[in-house]
Amino acid sequence: MQCGIFDFRVAEEPVRRISMMNTATHHRSEGIKKYQVWVDGVDFDKRVLKCRPSVGSNGNETEKGSVHACANSEGDKNHTFDVHFDQLVIAPGSEVNRFNTPGVEQHCHFMKSVSDAMSVREKILDCFELASLPHFSTSQKRTLLHFVIIGGGPTGVELAAELDELIHGHLLSIYPECRDLVSVSVYDVANRMLGMFGEKLSEYAMEKFRMRNVGVCMGKHIEGFEEGKMSVKEDGEVGFGIAVWAAGNKTCGLVEGMEGVRKDEDGKVVTDGFLRVLRDEGEGVMDSVYALGDAASIDGNELAATAEVAVQKARWLAEYLIAGNYKNEKQQAIPQGKKFEYQQKALVGILDAKMALLMAAVSGQERVLGWLGGVATCSGRRVGDVGV
């Protein structure tokens, strides 16, 4: 998407269009309300959410959102309000983990939203336009056309692959004078990229990148960023035209500030097998409070923070609540039926337009897919059907 392969509208669907329409009858659903707000806190005893508008923030919590001047003439200037709930599903996702690295916020791009992808694509094109100007030296042009990605996980690797495809498959035909000046580098503190795929596939991915002259900079410690450059412990100062930070995620501020709920060592909300939130002290669960996605983990059943896990949990919980399995005949909140069980799918890591890595779901067998046209993917890295 950030490299122009997909239209931005493919990545996001308006929430109102989804939530307000009955998919079976295609008529407007009644009783559904959507508020575009930040939830600053949850009072579990009073069963209240503390909210404020997020309109205009583009999903970025550092941007508090804007409220029209006419709304500021009276009442609460912060426009905070409460929303009462009977049942609550906590699924705020995660936020970028900057690891307290100086300059990340000011000098790096991120990959958490469509607006982030648009910003990355615009910056890439700006770098090529600048490098085509005659007054820059060759050294300056090499720096402008050095695209750095920090993070050797699936996001960073797939971004590097798509960026390399965009450059050599499209942009160099428009900017032929930049052919010998452009470079892409992937940095990570780990010794190899795509560690979750196993050593063989990880080594294969790194070798494929090296063959395409993509810099594979593993075991590197980033100490800080300044305008157009970063400090690497092992290499000193490294210049760049754009740096994309894809080094990982962490628990969001809402979950960090929650009191009275049990959390794991990563700060995630802990649930039981029915996705009910566990209380902080002693045994017991929060009545009619559930959690899923990157912000939650199941007690004794650690699962990866992937889209596939979140989707399966969401589908299970929706069916569970609709069926009324959370209450017995006396309407007491006692769960019935089977607990959530994750169905492992294959993992896929994209290396270029025609090549990907596959690790089978059950056997853990590692394979290389030679043609991506035979891979039907869903929700991130799920493989539905493979024909090679």
Residue 21 lies in a domain: no
Q: Show Cβ contacts of residue 322 under 8 Å, excluding neighbours closer than 6 positions.
A: none
CB 215 within 8 A of CB 185: yes
User: Does residue 207 share a domain with residue 223?
Assistant: yes
Q: Are residues 235 and 368 in the same domain?
A: no
Cα(first)–Cα(last) distance of the chain, in Å? Answer: 25
- Residue 384 vs residue 49, higher pLDDT: 49
- Is residue 10 a part of any domain in this protein? no
Q: pLDDT tens for residues 315-346?
A: 999 999 888 766 554 545 556 678 999 987 76
**19 domain residue, yes or no:** no
Name the residue with higher pLDDT: 342 or 68.
342
Shared-domain flag, residues 309 and 355: no
For residue 228, what is the domain's CATH number? 3.50.50.100
Question: In this predicted model, what pLDDT tens digit does every residue of 178-197 receive, in sequence order?
Answer: 999 999 999 999 999 988 77
Residues 149 and 225 in one domain: yes
Question: Tens digits of per-residue pLDDT, 88-115?
Answer: 999 999 999 999 999 999 999 999 888 8
Q: Are residues 328 and 371 in the same domain?
A: no
Kindly state whether residue 29 falls inside one of the protein's structural domains. Answer: no
Which residue intervals of 85-228 are DSSP H helices?
104-107, 114-131, 138-144, 154-166, 172-174, 199-211
**Of 203, 227, 249, which marks where a domain is finished?**
249
Query: Residue 95 domain-assigned?
Result: no
Any domain includes 313: yes
Q: Is the pTM of this model over 0.85?
A: no
Q: Which amino acid is at 371?
A: W
225 and 306 in a single domain? The answer is no
Q: Do 357 and 226 belong to one domain?
A: no
The structural domain count of the chain equals: 4
Residues 226 and 280 both lie in one domain: no
Domain identity same for 229 and 134: yes
Q: Dump pLDDT digits (tens) for 302-316.
A: 888 888 899 999 999
Classify residue 372: in a domain, yes or no. Answer: yes
Q: Which of 196, 228, 249 is the last residue of a domain?
A: 249
Looking at per-residue pLDDT, the higher value among 316 and 381 belongs to: 316
Residue whose pair of structure tokens reads 């939530």 in the numeric block: 19
Rounded to the nearest angstrom, the gap between the alpha carbon of residue 107 and the centroid of all alpha carbons in its chain is 19
**Under a CB-based contact definition with an 8 Å cutoff, are residues 269 and 277 in contact?**
yes
Residue 311 shares a structural domain with residue 373:
no
Residues 365, 296 within the same domain: no
Q: Which domain holds residue 309?
A: 258-343
Nearest CA to 225 among 335, 280, 316, 148? 148
Same domain, 314 and 237: no
Within-domain flag for 13: no
**Whose CA is closest to 147, among 215, 212, 101, 210?**
215
